[in-house]
Structure 1
Amino acid sequence: MKMKRKYITALSTVIGTSLLLAACGGGSTPTNSGSTTTPGAASPAAAAKKADGPKLNFRLAETHPADYPTTLGDKKFAELVNQASDGRIKIDVFPASQLGEEKAVIEQVQLGAIEFTRVSTGALGGFNKQYEVFSLPYIFDNDNHQWKFLESEQGTKLLDSLESSRMKGLAYYSSGARHFYSKKPIKSIADLKGLKIRVIQNKVNIDLMNALGANATPMPYGDVFNALQTGVIDAAENNYPSYFSSNHFQQAKNLILDQHQRVPEVLLISKVAWDKLSADDKALIKKAALESVKTQKAEWDKFEKDSEAKVKAAGVTITDVSDLKPWQDAVKPVIEKYRNDYKETLEAIEKARK
């Protein structure tokens, strides 16, 4: 009898354990909402998820404020991606350098820690030498000339070249012309002599300042206001919207419209993130990026006019440059120094001029 009771107890334990495993899903395919599933077959929900692709949540780092034209372009891009994927792909935009300054963000994008960013091609020059071409002065006559090049085969080739730097260029954004602004009056090239001017850190910008008789002072964009305020630098250079939105006009109330550079922006994705996407998702994201350009350009034009009006109202002294030839002549040695390095791109820019 004792042996019989021991056998019954052991059998009960085995049966109980088997039932527990089954209840926990250890012995069969789990069910959804009480439905039954054939062992080894995907559930309806899993099949639908596989057909549509995985849900993805990405971050996009932006240096400028929430209402800045590039940020509005970023948001339009995120909105278009969300719509095209029926909500499956979500991109959160983080403006105002919440995820870091441009250089640090680019490094994080290369590692895949941040998936998307919008950066100046000036900043990209430190990571991909071909992008330093945009820092060359007076290579574009105007915005139309610049966009003819950016939308050309060579412009697209430059975007694709970022893959060698562990990034994927998606689209260009507008950034207008850059001008000098200073704490002291500047009416001509001569007034730049000896000034400590903040620049984006790349060799071309440093050579440009030397050609104009100024002292290049590389520093992050977010440090410029305090540097102007404390006298660490005497001047800086940027476009109208950045000059206004950064409040630099409060510290440097003299602006000269010399148009020395037209440095476009780039919307890009980490190659780590890009390589994990399906072909359909890559096409969806690329299309959304290109469609967002129209919104960004329109917002840029509007913001540029508004910024100009507001800095004028704030008492900024604005000097127009009616004859750019002396400026162009002064910086020709810079272009010639780098011509062989960017020969193909400069030829394409010249072609776009015609």
Structure 2
Amino acid sequence: MRRIVTIACAIMLAVALSVPAFAGQVVLKLGHIAEPVHPYGQGAEKFAELVKEKSGGDIVVKVFPSSQLGGQKDLIEGLIFGTVDMALVGTAVLGQFQPQISIFDLPFLFQDRAHAYRSLDSVGMDLGKALEPKGIKLLGYMENGIRHLTNNVREVKTPADMKGLKIRVMTNKIFIAMMKSLGASPTPMAFGELYSAMQQGTVDGQENPSAHIWTKRFFEVQKYASLTAHAYSPEPLVMSMMSWSRLTPEQQQILKDAAREAIDWQRKLSADKDAEYWKLIAETGKIKITEVDRNVFMEATRPVYEEFAPIVGQDNIDKINALRK
């Protein structure tokens, strides 16, 4: 990973002064892994619509959903090398390129959504600046949602019930440590492989927001859902620095303005849809949904903070805690 970033930085340095500006209409490719109906899939389309409107059609954003341009790691590497213009990716994967941004993957970090938004729009944007020398421009954070646990072995009410469960996680050290602290056996796996892995029993379960559980139809291959709300997942809207540097200052401002407006719109949509998705999931009758005492899960994951505070920065954790109300 370090080698990829080092090579990319060298390439960027070599071409920074020679990259020509976009000629004529600007067409930007934006990739993500969600279904088009997912709230951040809709957020991507809203962003494209706003960019077209604000630029008078001079800038066109073409959205490629459902991993059409690759998985999240592929998308990030595409940004670095300039083969992908824009992407929506999780902090869990982006953190492989900027470790401090993994702070947003810590368990039970936020008091509520409002606290998450305040933190992302301040601390999060500051942390994003460190991505620029690595070839990535952060425009802001959309929302993936609040993560919950599902499995097809047993009802989970406490961490003790998770003992031995094979739970799919992203390739992210914090999520791996989190699942270990809860007694599960974390199994890193690409998102696109997850449905079949649960169907075939390669893994027992997974953890994701309701939007993915519904739109990816995970409820079809899972018997139990536990409302652990163990983590909040933002979805950064990022751009290749190579593509960004080819825009005029006026065009860059259009993208910034459209991103801010689209992010506000998408966050509201995501929050509104959350309860609706759980209602739809429950109505299928295919999965039992269980309320849990989140405090016992919170207590079990405290060691994760001790392990990762030196990496994400205790000062950054303190800044986020100071934004609680």
Same fold by TM-score greater than 0.5: yes
Q: Is the 8 A contact 2:167 2:204 kept in 1?
A: yes
Q: Where does the alignment leave 5 or more consecutive residues of structure 1 unmatched?
A: 1-51
Letter in structure 2 aligned against 1:347: D
Q: Hey, what does 2:231 align to over in structure 1? A: 261
Select 1:345's aligned residue among 305, 316, 321. 316
CA offsets, 1:44-87, max 9 Å, x none? xxxxxxxx973211110021111111011111111111111111
Question: 1-side partners of 2:101 and 2:202: how far apart?
Answer: 28
Q: Hey, what does 2:8 align to over in structure 1? A: none
Residues 149-164 of structure 1 aligned to structure 2 (within 5 Å): 149-152=119-122, 154-164=123-133
Question: 2-side partners of 1:253 and 1:134: how far apart?
Answer: 29
1:137 aligns with 2:107: yes
Q: Hey, what does 1:326 align to over in structure 2? A: 296
Report how many residues are paired: 301
Select 1:67's aligned residue among 23, 34, 37. 37
Residues 188-337 of structure 1 aligned to structure 2 (within 5 Å): 188-315=158-285, 316-321=287-292, 323-337=293-307
Give the C-alpha shift of residue 175 in structure 1. Answer: 2.4
1:180 aligns with 2:149: yes
Question: 2-side partners of 1:190 and 1:122: how far apart?
Answer: 25
Select 2:87's aligned residue among 117, 120, 128. 117
CA offsets, 1:177-235, max 9 Å, x none? 11110002222211111111100111111111111111111111111000001111011
More off after superposition, 155-164 vs 83-92: 155-164
Q: Hey, what does 1:47 align to over in structure 2? A: none
Question: What is the RMSD computed on CA atoms of the aligned residues?
Answer: 1.4
Give the C-alpha shift of residue 159 in structure 1. Answer: 2.5
Give the C-alpha shift of residue 123 in structure 1. Answer: 1.5
Q: Determine what percentage of the aligned residue pairs are the same residue.
A: 33
Give the C-alpha shift of residue 301 in structure 1. Answer: 2.4
Question: 2-side partners of 1:287 and 1:53: how far apart?
Answer: 22
Question: 2-side partners of 1:257 and 1:175: how far apart?
Answer: 16
Q: Where does the alignment leave 5 or more consecutive residues of structure 2 unmatched?
A: 1-21
- Partner of 1:177, secondary structure, is strand
CA offsets, 1:274-301, max 9 Å, x none? 1111111111111110110122112212
Give the C-alpha shift of residue 144 in structure 1. Answer: 1.4
Residues 15-26 of structure 1 aligned to structure 2 (within 5 Å): none
- Normalising by structure 1, we get a TM-score of 0.82
More off after superposition, 336-345 vs 191-200: 336-345
**Structure 1 residue runs of 4+, over 6 Å off?**
none
Q: Is the 8 A contact 2:37 2:215 kept in 1?
A: no
Question: 2-side partners of 1:140 and 1:305: how far apart?
Answer: 19
Q: Hey, what does 2:63 align to over in structure 1? A: 93
Question: 1-side partners of 2:297 and 2:276: how far apart?
Answer: 27
Question: 2-side partners of 1:260 and 1:266: how far apart?
Answer: 19
Give the C-alpha shift of residue 253 in structure 1. Answer: 2.2
Q: Is the 8 A contact 1:143 1:176 kept in 2?
A: no
Q: Hey, what does 1:169 align to over in structure 2? A: 138
More off after superposition, 87-96 vs 334-343: 334-343
Letter in structure 2 aligned against 1:147: Y
Q: Is the 8 A contact 2:101 2:124 kept in 1?
A: no
Question: 2-side partners of 1:133 and 1:165: how far apart?
Answer: 18
- Normalising by structure 2, we get a TM-score of 0.89
Q: Structure 1 pair 344/54, CA: closer, same or farther in 2 (3 Å)?
A: farther
Question: 2-side partners of 1:239 and 1:105: how far apart?
Answer: 21
Higher CA-based Rg: 1
- Partner of 2:141, secondary structure, is strand
